[in-house]
Structure formats: structure tokens, C-alpha cells
């Protein structure tokens, strides 16, 4: 059983006269303890989906359950209690600008009726966790984007939630700061056991921290699975586009020389820890040139794809294909 | 020569009318403004019926010229303060006239609060009441003080107008001594005094607004 279960979810918006379908037939679970990524292009419906997980937005049809309880069945006060178990952070941080850093962190405790002293103690612990102990009296306007997001994370964790929803939490940050926020999220996941849902349009964010990923496109889930599997061989067209970039799409312009043959090699993490291409050239004594390469390191292993131009000699072509097969690298000719 | 004492009494009356009316108008205007904000289309608890009704009432009161309102509410004034002349008698019409105005000011200040912050509070399980008191009214504080600077100086202007019907204060002095007795000196002095008081109130409230804004 997942900590969050989504079943047959559909969301329609009524804009003027026409209906806009933001989400359609969405069914999936988020497992306790995992970091789950949801990726998609702008307008795919990611924010709508994540906002339904804490019922900031209500589905048009379908069900959202948290720890087995259908959110639609809850009273207002029960729903507010559930929301205290589900923290949320945002792209624009959404801190209280007129309130000091520490008071921002105590805010969720204050509205839960927790005493001032206890709240301050908890807030200080959390500010220590996010490495901002020296900023407790500052106001948000004096902080950098990364610091603001760390305050937001501390605030979201104040009520000891079981799940943390992150809607484009790193999209407003530079790569280095993104890295810091992602490792903080990973730490929160591992050390505090918080299940994390990450919404992003950046593939690199998924690669770095997520265990599983769902690819959302045009209001539907096109693909879902372990990050490693999806990255190795994305099945959906949108998945291939997001992971390998536009170059490998069949419909994308591919300037092949007439008469030449090209081979696409797909790497998974198991083979690329040795220099497969160098070994191949040394062993087969065939000359190949790399036409296109796009590999990424996931969990310390290289995955991705490579396109090589084959020698003209069909004998040599066969030797290369045999070698790759023996080495466990999947390859196929580019049409 | 007009007695200096006359001015002192008039200034006191002007402050009395302005500050008391402002205070009461805010006590009425803030809840009204919150209600307008909350029931609006994208508010916390949208309610078209309540919003439209309230909005209409507010607009009606705002479109009645103050002098006419002053006369219209004379019976009410008589009941509340027991008299229809003097500084005290100006307070009820000022309140009736200023409260709807302040309600609109408050509504617009609340609307300035970033929707994301409200959403964040909701995601933490805040009730609507908590969102109003701990998020909206707090985050909009600087804007509310700027609104107060505008409202209070407007009320001051209205209070001077009330002098025309024996309302007391600096406006009363200007009318009685400056206009009816054609004493230009009195006219000039009261105008200068009014300008100084407006400036003073304006800068006090703008100062508070600036001081209270933690974004700066
Ligand atoms: N409150 C709303 N009213 C009407 N339409 C909406 C509303 N919220 C979202 N939509 C529409 O639903 C679709 C999905 O929006 P959503 O914000 O979920 O996309 P997203 O994947 O988060 O995009 P982005 O990456 O730009 O944030 C969009 O076409 C959007 O215009
Ligand atoms: Mg979004």
C-alpha cells in the first residue's frame, strides 16, 4: 500500500465556455519512504497533480488517499489535520515576508496550538538542520534564494510531516544552490524517513535524487518506473525526448551520410564501468567514429546512449555487432 | 484679532473628531474589508451573493456627498450623541461616511498579499480565521498603514467641511470667523493649520508604514 494513492484521477477546469482537461485517468501510488519524481513540460499538469495530494485542489473525479484514507471523505478539520502530515514547498518559497525567519518556522506550530517555548526549541533544531542557525532573527528579504528555500523546508518540516511535496522547489535557483537543496532533501528523506514528492521540469533533478519517476505529458502519465530503468530505456516518446534530448527522435533531423550505417548503443549502469568502446576498438581492430553521445551518471553508474558510425565493410560491421552483443550492450541500427 | 485660545480649542476639536472617527471607522471598516476580501470570487470563502450585496451597500454610501450625508443622518446623530451641533455631533456622519471607504482600502490591501503565501498557510493546515489574522492582516500591515494615512487625512478634510453646519474644529472657525466675518487672516491661519496637521498625520502614518515593512 502506498502512503499516497491516486486512482482514476481527472481534473477539469472551466474557463469561460470551454473545458480544459488538466489531468486525465491518473492512477499511481507513492510508496512510503521513497523519493518520487514527477516530470513534464510546462502546462503538463504537474502542479495541479501535486496540489491534489493535499487537496488544495479537489479532483473532478477519482480518488486521492493518504495512508489509506480517502481525502474526499474527510471533514474540514480532519483535512487540516492531514495537511499537517503533508509538508509543502514551492518555487517562489512563499515565506511570510513580514515575519522573521524563526517565526516563519514556528508558524505551523503556532497554528497547531503548540506552546511558544516548545515551538521555538523545535524551530531552532530545524534551523540547525538546514544550516541557518545564524539567521533566525533575519527577515526573508535579507536571504538568498537558496536560504529562503531552506527556511521553507524547515517550516514545512516543523509539524513532523510524513510526506514533503516539492513543487518546482529548485526551479528558481542556480545549479550549485539546486545541488545543495537536493542533498538537503535527500538527507531529510534518509535521516528523517520523510517520503518526498518532487515536481520538476529538469531531468537532472530527477536523476540526482529520485527513486522512481512518473513522466506527465498533456495531462496523462506516459511512463512510470524506477529512475534507472526509465533512464536506460524510456518507452514513451516524451520520455525519450526528455532523457536523450531531441536528437534521437526519429522525426528529428538526422544528417546521415548516404550509404553509411549508424548504430545506436544503449548503456545501462552495468557495462559502462569499463571502457566499452575503447575495448571494442582494441579487440575488433575496427575503426568507428562517435557520431552522438549522451550519457549521464545515475547513482554512480553511467547510463545513456551513443551513436556510432560503422565502417563500410559488412564483415567488420558484423564483428562489431557480435562484440557488443557479447558485452551485453543493446544496440540497433539507426533507420 | 481672534483669540489664540480659539485656535487651540479648534485644533483640539479637529484632532478629537478626526482620531475618534478614524478609530471607530477602522473598527467597523476592517471586518467589512475582510468580509469583502473573503467573499470575493477568488477569496477564502467565495460567496457572490454576500459580496455583491455588501459591495453595493459600500458603493452607495461612498457615492453620497459628505455634506448631504451629514444632514441625512441628523436624526441618527441626535439619538447617538444627544445633539446635532459641535464636534461630537460630527463623529457619527464621519464614521458612516468613512467606514465603507476604509473597508475598500482594507480589501485592496489584503488583495496585495501574494496568493502563494496564503496557499502555503493552507498547506500547513491553517483555518481561514488563522489565515486572516496571522497571514493576511500581518503581511498587509505596511499597506494598511499607507491606507490609514490616506483615510485619516481624508477624514480630517471631511471634519473641516462639517464646520459648515456648526460642527466645531478648524473648519468651523474658518467659516464663522473667516468667511461670515470676512476675516482673511483667520481664513489663512486655519488653512495653514489644517495643512500642517495633514502633513503631520500623513508623515506619522507613512513613517509607521515604512518602519513596519520588513521587506525594505
Ligand atoms: N486554476 C486554474 N484554472 C484554470 N486552468 C488552470 C488552473 N490551474 C491550472 N490550469 C491549467 O491546467 C493546465 C495544467 O497546469 P499546471 O499548473 O498543473 O501545469 P504544470 O505542469 O505545473 O506547468 P508549469 O511547469 O508551467 O508549472 C494548464 O493548461 C493550466 O493553464
Ligand atoms: Mg507548475
Mean pLDDT by 10 residues, chain A (335 residues): 95 88 96 96 94 96 97 97 97 96 98 96 96 96 96 97 97 91 96 97 89 96 93 84 58 62 73 73 86 68 76 87 80 72
Domains of chain A by range and CATH? 4-231 (3.40.50.300), 245-333 (3.30.70.260)
State the average pLDDT over residues B185-193.
92
Q: What is the pLDDT, as a whole number, of residue A254? A: 56
> By alpha-carbon position, which residue is closest to atom 2 of ligand 1?
A13
**High-pLDDT (> 70) share of chain B, %:** 99
The pLDDT confidence band at residue B33, using thresholds 50, 70 and 90, is very high
Q: What is the pLDDT, as a whole number, of residue A255? A: 67
A46 CA: nearest ligand 1 atom: 21
Q: Could you tell me if B114 lies within 8 Å of chain A, comparing CB atoms?
A: yes
- What cell was used for A199? 515536481
**High-pLDDT (> 90) share of chain B, %:** 80
Report the distance separating Cα A209 and Cα A124, nearest Å: 26
Q: What is the pLDDT, as a whole number, of residue A180? A: 94
Chain A residue numbers with beta carbons less than 8 Å from the beta carbon of B122 are 56, 83
Residue B119 pLDDT greater than 90, yes or no: yes
Report the distance separating Cα A206 and Cα A3, nearest Å: 20
Report the distance separating Cα B54 and Cα B32, nearest Å: 8
- What cell was used for A330? 543493446
- What cell was used for A106? 514556528
Residue B1 pLDDT greater than 70, yes or no: no
Chain B residue numbers with beta carbons less than 8 Å from the beta carbon of A159 are 124-125
Q: What is the pLDDT, as a whole number, of residue A253? A: 47
Question: Residue A171 C-alpha to ligand 2 middle, in angstroms?
Answer: 10
Instruction: Give Dmax over CA atoms of chain A in angstroms.
Output: 80
Chain B residue numbers with beta carbons less than 8 Å from the beta carbon of A156 are 124
The pocket of ion ligand 2, defined by CB under 5 A, consists of A 47
Question: Which residues lie closer than 8 Å to A134 by C-beta, 6 or more apart?
Answer: none
Residue boundaries of the structural domains of chain B: 4-112+126-212
By most ligand atoms within 8 Å of CB, the mutation choice from A21, A24, A48, A221 for ligand 1 is A48
Residue B147 pLDDT greater than 60, yes or no: yes
Strand-pairing partners, residue A308, are: A263, A290
By most ligand atoms within 8 Å of CB, the mutation choice from A9, A12, A17, A22 for ligand 1 is A22
Q: What is the pLDDT, as a whole number, of residue A133? A: 96
Among the ranges given (A189-198, A260-269, B96-105, B118-127), the one the predictor scored with the smallest mean pLDDT: A260-269
Q: What is the pLDDT, as a whole number, of residue A272? A: 52
How far from A330 is each of A234, A294, A321, A334, B130, CA to CA, in Å?
14, 15, 9, 13, 59
> Within a 10 A sphere around the Cβ of A267, how many other Cβ atoms?
22
Q: Could you tell me if B216 lies within 8 Å of chain A, comparing CB atoms?
A: yes
CA of A159: which chain B residue's CA is closest?
B124
How far from A39 is each of A187, A249, A293, CA to CA, in Å?
21, 19, 23
Query: Could you tell me if B174 and B190 are in contact, meaning their C-beta atoms sit under 8 angstroms apart?
Result: yes
Element (H, E) at A80: helix A76-83
Q: What is the pLDDT, as a whole number, of residue A246? A: 43
DSSP A263-301: EEEEE-TTTTTS-HHHHHHHHH----EEEEEEEEEETTE
DSSP A183-231: HHHHHHHHHH--EEEEEES-HHHHHHH-SEEEEEETTEEEEEEEHHHHH
Report the distance separating Cα A196 and Cα B125, nearest Å: 18
| End-to-end CA separation in angstroms for chain B | 50
Answer yes or no: do B125 and A159 touch at CB < 8 A: yes
Q: What is the pLDDT, as a whole number, of residue A251? A: 39
Q: Could you tell me if A90 lies within 8 Å of chain B, comparing CB atoms?
A: yes
**CB-count burial class (<10 Å; 0-12, 13-18, 19+) for B185:** exposed
Report the distance separating Cα B191 and Cα A97, nearest Å: 41
Q: What is the pLDDT, as a whole number, of residue A123? A: 97
- What cell was used for B15? 484632532
Query: Could you tell me if A8 and A63 are in contact, meaning their C-beta atoms sit under 8 angstroms apart?
Result: yes
- Among A311, A251, A252, A256, residue whose Cα is nearest residue A280: A311
Q: Could you tell me if B139 lies within 8 Å of chain A, comparing CB atoms?
A: yes
Q: What is the pLDDT, as a whole number, of residue A303? A: 65
- What cell was used for A61? 473525479
Element (H, E) at A10: strand A4-15
- What cell was used for B184? 482673511
Report the distance separating Cα B5 and Cα A335, nearest Å: 101
Task: Collapse the DSSP code of A20 into the 3-class scheme (helix H, G, I; strand E, B; otherwise coil) and give the result.
Answer: strand
B48-76: pLDDT as tens digits: 999 999 999 999 999 999 989 999 999 99
Q: What is the pLDDT, as a whole number, of residue A296? A: 67
Distance of CA A158 to the CA centre of its chain: 23
Question: Which residues lie closer than 8 Å to A15 by C-beta, 6 or more apart?
Answer: none
3-state secondary structure chain B: CCCHHHHHHHHHHHHHHHHHHHHHHHHHHHHHHHHHHHHCCCCCCCCHHHHHHHHHHHHHHHHCCHHHHHHHCHHHHHHHHCCCCCHHHHHHHHHHHHHHHHHHHHHHHHHCCCHHHHHHHHHCCCCHHHHHHHHHHHHCHHHHHHHHHHHHHHHHHHHHHHHHHCCCHHHHHHHHHHHHCCCHHHHHHHHHHHHHHHHHHHHHHHHHHHHHCCCC
CA of A88: which chain B residue's CA is closest?
B123
Report ipTM for this prediction. Answer: 0.89
Specify whether domain B4-112+126-212 bears CATH 1.10.3720.10. Answer: yes
DSSP A131-192: T-GGGTTS-GGGS-HHHHHHHHHHHHHTT--SEEEEESTTTTS-HHHHHHHHHHHHHHHHHH
Q: What is the pLDDT, as a whole number, of residue A269? A: 57
Amino acid at each position: 500500500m502506498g502512503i499516497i494513492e491516486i486512482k482514476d484521477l481527472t481534473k477539469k477546469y472551466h474557463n469561460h465556455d470551454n473545458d480544459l482537461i488538466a489531468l486525465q485517468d491518473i492512477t499511481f501510488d507513492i510508496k512510503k519512504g521513497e523519493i518520487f519524481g514527477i516530470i513534464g513540460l510546462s502546462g503538463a499538469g504537474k502542479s495541479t497533480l501535486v496540489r491534489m495530494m493535499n487537496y488544495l485542489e479537489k479532483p473532478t473525479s477519482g480518488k486521492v488517499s493518504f495512508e489509506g484514507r480517502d481525502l474526499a471523505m474527510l471533514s474540514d478539520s480532519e483535512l487540516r489535520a492531514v495537511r499537517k502530515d503533508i509538508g509543502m514547498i514551492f518555487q517562489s518559497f512563499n515565506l511570510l515576508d513580514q515575519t522573521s525567519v524563526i517565526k516563519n518556522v514556528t508558524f505551523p506550530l503556532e497554528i497547531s496550538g503548540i506552546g511558544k517555548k516548545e515551538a521555538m526549541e523545535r524551530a531552532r533544531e530545524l534551523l540547525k538542520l538546514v544550516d541557518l542557525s545564524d539567521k533566525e532573527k533575519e527577515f526573508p528579504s535579507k536571504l538568498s534564494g537558496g536560504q529562503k528555500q531552506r527556511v521553507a523546508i524547515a517550516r514545512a518540516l516543523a509539524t513532523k510531516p510524513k510526506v514533503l511535496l516539492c513543487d518546482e522547489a529548485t526551479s528558481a535557483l542556480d545549479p550549485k544552490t539546486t545541488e545543495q537543496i537536493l542533498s538537503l532533501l535527500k538527507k531529510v528523506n534518509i535521516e528523517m524517513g520523510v517520503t518526498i514528492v518532487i515536481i520538476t521540469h529538469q531531468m537532472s533533478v530527477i536523476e540526482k535524487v529520485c527513486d522512481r519517476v512518473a513522466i506527465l505529458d498533456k495531462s496523462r502519465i506516459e511512463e512510470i518506473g524506477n529512475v534507472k530503468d526509465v533512464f536506460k530505456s524510456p518507452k514513451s516518446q516524451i520520455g525519450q525526448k526528455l532523457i536523450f534530448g531531441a536528437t534521437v527522435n526519429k522525426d528529428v533531423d538526422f544528417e546521415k551520410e548516404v550509404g553509411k550505417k549508424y548504430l545506436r548503443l544503449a548503456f545501462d549502469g552495468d557495462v559502462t564501468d569499463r571502457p566499452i568502446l575503447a575495448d571494442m576498438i582494441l579487440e575488433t581492430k575496427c575503426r568507428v567514429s562517435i557520431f552522438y553521445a549522451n550519457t549521464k551518471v545515475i547513482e554512480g553508474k553511467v547510463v545513456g546512449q551513443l551513436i556510432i558510425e560503422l565502417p563500410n565493410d559488412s564483415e567488420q560491421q558484423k564483428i562489431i555487432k557480435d562484440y557488443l552483443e557479447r558485452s551485453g550492450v543493446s544496440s540497433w541500427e539507426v533507420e | 484679532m481672534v483669540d489664540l485660545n480659539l485656535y487651540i480649542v479648534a485644533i483640539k476639536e479637529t484632532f478629537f473628531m478626526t482620531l475618534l472617527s478614524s478609530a471607530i471607522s477602522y473598527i467597523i471598516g476592517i471586518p467589512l474589508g475582510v468580509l469583502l476580501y473573503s467573499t470575493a470570487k477568488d477569496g477564502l470563502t467565495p460567496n457572490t451573493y454576500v459580496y455583491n450585496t455588501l459591495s453595493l451597500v459600500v458603493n452607495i454610501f461612498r457615492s453620497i456627498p459628505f455634506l448631504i450625508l451629514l444632514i441625512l443622518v441628523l436624526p441618527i446623530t441626535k439619538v447617538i450623541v444627544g445633539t446635532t451641533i459641535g464636534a461630537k455631533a460630527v463623529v457619527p456622519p464621519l464614521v458612516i461616511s468613512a467606514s465603507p471607504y476604509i473597508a475598500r482600502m482594507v480589501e485592496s490591501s489584503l488583495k496585495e498579499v501574494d496568493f502563494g503565501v496564503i496557499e502555503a498557510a493552507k498547506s500547513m493546515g491553517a483555518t481561514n480565521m488563522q489565515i486572516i489574522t496571522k497571514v493576511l492582516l500581518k503581511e498587509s500591515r505596511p499597506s494598511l498603514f499607507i491606507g490609514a494615512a490616506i483615510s485619516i487625512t481624508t477624514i480630517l478634510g471631511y471634519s473641516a467641511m462639517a464646520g459648515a453646519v456648526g460642527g466645531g474644529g478648524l473648519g468651523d472657525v474658518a467659516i464663522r470667523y473667516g468667511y461670515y466675518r470676512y476675516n482673511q487672516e483667520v481664513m489663512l491661519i486655519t488653512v495653514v493649520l489644517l495643512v500642517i496637521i495633514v502633513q503631520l498625520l500623513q508623515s506619522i502614518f507613512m513613517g509607521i508604514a515604512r518602519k513596519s515593512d520588513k521587506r525594505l
